Structure 1
Amino acid sequence: MDEVEVVIAHAERATLRVGDVFLKVDPDQRRIDVEVEAMTLVPVPTAEVLWRKPPVLALAAVKGKALGRTGHPSVASRAAWAAAGAAVRALHETALPRWVGPPVEQYAAELESECEWLLANDVLPAAVVERNRERASAALRPWKPVFVHGDLHASHVFVDGDAVTGIIDWSEAAQGDAHRDLGSLTLAHPEFLDDVLAGYGPGVDVELIRAWWSLRSLLAGRWLAEHGFDPDAPGCEFDVLRAA
C-alpha cells in the first residue's frame, strides 16, 4: 500500500503525494480556480487534473525530475535548462489570462515593509539589505504584461533528459513581468542563467533578472521564517542577498 508523503505543508495549504497522485489541500478556492484554468490555457505540458472536490485538487504525477531544488546543485543538463527557457518563452507569448498580478505599487510597498522588518529584527546586515533594496528597485518600473507562472522555481519545472515534461503549481499565474518568471527560475541556480536565456531568446534585460533575484529574496524572508522554512540555509534567499 502506498505511503502518504508530505511534499509541503504550512498554515495556508499542503501538498501530499500518494503513489502517482498529488493531493493539494487549499481552502482558498480562488487559487485552485486559477491553477485549474491556467493549466487549460498554457502551451506547455502540465499535470493532469484527476478530480476536484474542494478543498482538495488531485493531480497526476509528472514524468521526470525537477530541474533543480533550492539549496542543492542541479544535476539537469544545460540543454534541459535551455529547454526550460524555451518553454517559458512559449508561455510568455500566450494570450494574456484574465487575472492581473500585483501592480508595481504593491511590490514597492511590500519591499519597504520587508526591508524595515529585516533591519528592525537584525536579520541581515544593514549593508546587505540596503544594497539589495537598491538593486530590487530597478524591477519596480512599468512593464509590458505577459502570461506569467508567478512562482516558477526550478522545482516546479520537470524534465526527462533534455526535454521539459511538465510545469506544476499554477496558482499564482497572472498577467505580470516576464523578468519575474526568469528571475524565479534562476534564483537559486544563477550558473544556468545563460542557458535559460539561450533557450528563451532575445528581448531580456539581465539586470532586471538580477533585480528580481533581490526583490523576491527580500520579500520572501519573513514569510519563509514564519511558515517553518529556513531562508538562511545554504543556497537559499539570504545567501542570494549576501552574494548580490
Structure 2
Amino acid sequence: MDEVEVVVAHSERATLRVGDVFLKVDGDQARIHTEVEAMDLAPVPTPKVLWRKPPVLAIAAVPGTALGRLGEPSTASPAAWAAAGAAVRALHDAPLPPWPGGSGRSLDDLAADLDRECAWLLTNGVLPADLVTRNRRIAEAALRPWTPVFAHGDLQITHVFVDGDEVTGIIDWSEAGQGDALFDLAILTLGHEERLGEVLDGYGTDVDRDVIRAWWSLRSLLVIRWLSEHGFDPTAPGCEVDVLRSRMCGRAGP
C-alpha cells in the first residue's frame, strides 16, 4: 500500500499525496471551484482532475520534477526556464477568465495591505527599519495600473514541472484569475533572480524589470507574517527575508 505523504498542511488547507494521487482538502469551496475551472481553461499542461467530493479534490500527479525550490539552487537548464517563460506567455495571451484573481486586487487594497504589514514588521521588531523602508519604497513601483491577463496567481517554481527542457505541468491554480502579468513572472523568479533573463527569453516580449523587482519586495513584505503564523520560515536561506536583503545592496539586479 502507498504511504500517505503530507505535502503541505496549515489552518486553511492541506494537500496529501497517496501514490500518484494528490488529495487537496480545503474548507473554502470557492478556491476549489476556481482551481478546477482554471485548469479547464488554461492553455498549458495541468493536472487531471480525478474526482471532486467537497471538501476534497483529487488530482493526478503530473510527470517530471519541479523547476526548483525557494532557498535552493535550481538544477533545471536555461532552456527549461525559458520553456516556463513561454508557458506563462501562452497563459497570459489566453482569454480572460470570468472572475477576478488574487493578484487582481485593487491598488487601494494592495496599498492598504502594504501599510498594514510594514507597520506590523516594524512594531514587532521583526525586521530592521532600514530593510523595511527601502523595500517598501521599491515595492511602490508595483502599485500602478496594469492590463489584466489570465494569471496563475501563485506561480512558485515548485508549481511548475519540467521533464528535460519541456514543461509537463503547472499545478495549484486556486489563486488564478484576472491579474498582473508581471506578478506571475515575479513569483516564478522570486529568490532565483539570476534566472529572470532566461524566463524572459521564453516569454518573448519586453517587460519592465523594475516592476518585477518591485513585486519581489512587495510580495515578500506581504507574506512574512502569514508564513510565520502558518509554520513556514521566511528567514531560511534564500527565502523571503533574503530576497528583501538583496535589495539593500543597491545593484540593479538581473
Give the AA of the match of 2:64: G
Q: Distance in 2 between matches of 1:66 and 1:104?
A: 32
Q: Distance in 2 between matches of 1:155 and 1:224?
A: 16
Indicate yes or no: 2:70 matched with 1:70. yes
SS, match of residue 7 in structure 1: strand
Superposition RMSD on alpha carbons, in Å?
0.6
Q: Distance in 1 between matches of 2:167 and 2:194?
A: 19
Give the AA of the match of 1:199: G
Give the AA of the match of 1:46: T
Q: Distance in 1 between matches of 2:78 and 2:228?
A: 32
C-alpha deviation, 1:183, in angstroms: 0.3
Query: 1:173-224: per-residue Cα shift (whole Å, max 9, x none)?
Result: 0111100000000002111100000000113111010000000000000000
Q: 1:230 aligns with which of 230, 233, 248?
A: 233
Query: 1:79-119: per-residue Cα shift (whole Å, max 9, x none)?
Result: 00000000000000000011113111111100000000000
Q: Distance in 2 between matches of 1:133 and 1:218?
A: 8
Q: Distance in 2 between matches of 1:179 and 1:131?
A: 21
Q: 2:158 aligns with which of 146, 155, 160?
A: 155
Gaps in structure 1 of 5+ consecutive residues = none
C-alpha deviation, 1:71, in angstroms: 1.0
When the two structures are superposed, what TM-score results if normalisation uses the length of structure 1? 0.99
Q: Distance in 1 between matches of 2:130 and 2:204?
A: 35
Aligned to 1:92: 92
Equivalent pairs: percent with the same residue? 72
SS, match of residue 31 in structure 2: helix
Give the AA of the match of 2:211: L
Q: Which runs of 4+ in 1 moved over 6 A?
A: none
Indicate yes or no: 2:145 matched with 1:142. yes
Aligned length: 244
Aligned to 1:114: 117
Indicate yes or no: 2:187 matched with 1:176. no
Q: Distance in 2 between matches of 1:99 and 1:127?
A: 38
